[in-house]
Amino acid sequence: MQSGDNVTLGGRDRGPPACSACFLSPVTSPWQHPDRAVARARSVLITGATSGFGEAAATRLAASGAHVIVHGRTRRRAEAAAARIRARSHEARVDVVAADLSDRLAIDALAAEVRTRFPALDVLVHNAAVVPRRREATREGLELQFAVNHLAPMLLTARLLSALRARPGARIVVVASQVERDGHIDFADLQSQRRYDPYAAYRQSKLANVLFTRALARRIPGCCPTVNCLHPGIAGTRVLNALVGRPDWMQRWTAYREPTADTQAEPLVRLVLDPALDAVSGAYFRELEQRPPSDRSMDDVTGERLWAVSNSLLGLPSDWADST
């Protein structure tokens, strides 16, 4: 199935993507940082912004003038990251929030706090991810990677979508990975109860990120907010180190040879700020360039099935993005 095909599930014709040209016409214009006034007008929430790509992007965005809301699993870690950001940019506008994204009640509380404290939210960046080496479950019995990497972005988006829709030019950015091309949505064992392979579970969650991006974009008319995802590049982040199981000594050794998260944060900064992307939605970016995702990511029938199953797991109505 091609990206512009109609999608029918449960007798309902989804039609072509709301911004079908955005799915099919790659953005090829060179990326240049916009005027500082553009960044200053942005209020950006980044989940998992206490290390790696998240913190690096938050640092760059704050230095550009954007108001950055740093999310961490604990307030202590979020405050520590905010202090590092302020140390690098003394005029940085940084606030912090904290929540355990494996806990649905905590996500609900996070969304309520954001709506109250930051009603003018312009950009929601889903960056947080986990890669436990052994299978872990949430209090609801969900496999941790599937819950944090996929379901948490979906639930947080559902809770904040009405606020984002009220902001002209609002954006949702999902940090995926190029490993989505090797992913497989195992509907018979979504929670990896029969067999847990951390890398396979990670690939599944990253494929789910791209499928979610496209499914949500199909439901939002007028590209407000836009919804895009990206593979930011390879860097020696905590997620990568956990994924490949590097011991501490190897992490120190490879730190001198791999790109750092700081140098690889530019693609995420672009998706937050670039005016050329104002009308681009449902797209996949590999670093700074818009690229077609894998064939599996463009399987919209699988995407609609995952949408339905995920909503059921979260207790969300299937039309939450349509009716908000």
pLDDT exceeds cutoff 90 at 284:
yes
Report yes or no on 78 lying in a domain.
yes
pLDDT of residue 26: 54
Task: Round to whole Å and give the CA distance between 54 and 46.
Answer: 7
**Cβ-contact 271, 285 below 8 angstroms:** yes
pLDDT exceeds cutoff 60 at 21:
no
pLDDT (tens digit, 9 = 90+) per residue, 114-172? Answer: 999 999 999 999 999 999 999 999 999 999 999 999 999 999 999 999 999 999 999 99
- Structural domain range at position 128: 34-316
pLDDT band per the 50, 70, 90 thresholds, residue 9:
very low
Domain tally, the chain:
1
Structure token pair of residue 110: 């996070």
pLDDT exceeds cutoff 80 at 252:
no
Report yes or no on 28 lying in a domain.
no
pLDDT exceeds cutoff 60 at 324:
no
Report yes or no on 124 lying in a domain.
yes
pLDDT (tens digit, 9 = 90+) per residue, 71-111? Answer: 999 999 999 999 999 999 889 999 999 999 999 999 999 99
Is 196 a known active-site residue?
no
Report yes or no on 236 lying in a domain.
yes
pLDDT (tens digit, 9 = 90+) per residue, 146-155? Answer: 999 999 999 9
Report yes or no on 87 lying in a domain.
yes
Report yes or no on 9 lying in a domain.
no
Q: Output the domain CATH number for residue 259.
A: 3.40.50.720
- Count the alpha carbons within 13 Å of 208 in the hemisphere toward its beta carbon: 28
Mean pLDDT of 245-262: 48
Report yes or no on 22 lying in a domain.
no
Percent of the chain with pLDDT over 70: 81
Report yes or no on 6 lying in a domain.
no
pLDDT band per the 50, 70, 90 thresholds, residue 260:
low
More confident residue, 98 or 241: 98
More confident residue, 37 or 304: 304
Contacts within 8 Å (CB) and 24+ apart, 86-92: 86/62, 88/59, 88/63, 89/59, 89/62, 89/63, 91/65, 92/62, 92/63, 92/68
pLDDT of residue 44: 98
What is the overall mean pLDDT for the chain? 86
